[in-house]
Amino acid sequence: MATMRLSSWREIDLAIWQRMAERARREGVRAYRLNGDPRHWAVTSASQSGVAYEVTFLDGDLLCSCPGSAYYRYCKHRALVLAELGLLEPEFGSEAA
């Protein structure tokens, strides 16, 4: 399972994460919270019917089991979960002056 520090996703361009989440939605990708726990998600595959990837927050890491997340900084499954949690809103993470 590919790992990305949760704190580091904010250092990567927010607009890219937003585009990835929008792309996931356009492709029909769905995110399902497992047992109501915001740390554990099943996110469907756009290309493989009946396949879902696990996205997990664990000890400050944001992990996804999809093959692409092992090679790329961005993963539409992680992006969709971040969006579902409201973490891709422009005001999130911006500090008041």
Give the DSSP H/E element, type plus range, for residue 50.
Answer: none
Domain with 15 in it:
2-84
- 38 in any annotated domain: yes
Query: Residue 94: pLDDT band by 50, 70, 90 thresholds?
Result: very low
- 95 in any annotated domain: no
Provide the number of structural domains found in the chain: 1
- In the sheet with 2-5, reading across from the earlier edge strand, the strands are 2-5, 61-64, 52-58, 37-44, 31-34
Separation between Cα atoms, residue 78 and residue 95, nearest integer Å: 23
- 97 in any annotated domain: no
The pTM of the whole model exceeds 0.75: yes
* Helix 14-26 × helix 76-84 angle, to 10°: 100
- 91 in any annotated domain: no
- 90 in any annotated domain: no
Selection from 50, 34, 37, 42 nearest residue 80 by Cα: 42
Separation between Cα atoms, residue 70 and residue 13, nearest integer Å: 19
Q: pLDDT of 14-63, one tens digit each?
A: 889 999 999 999 999 999 999 999 899 999 999 999 999 999 988 878 89
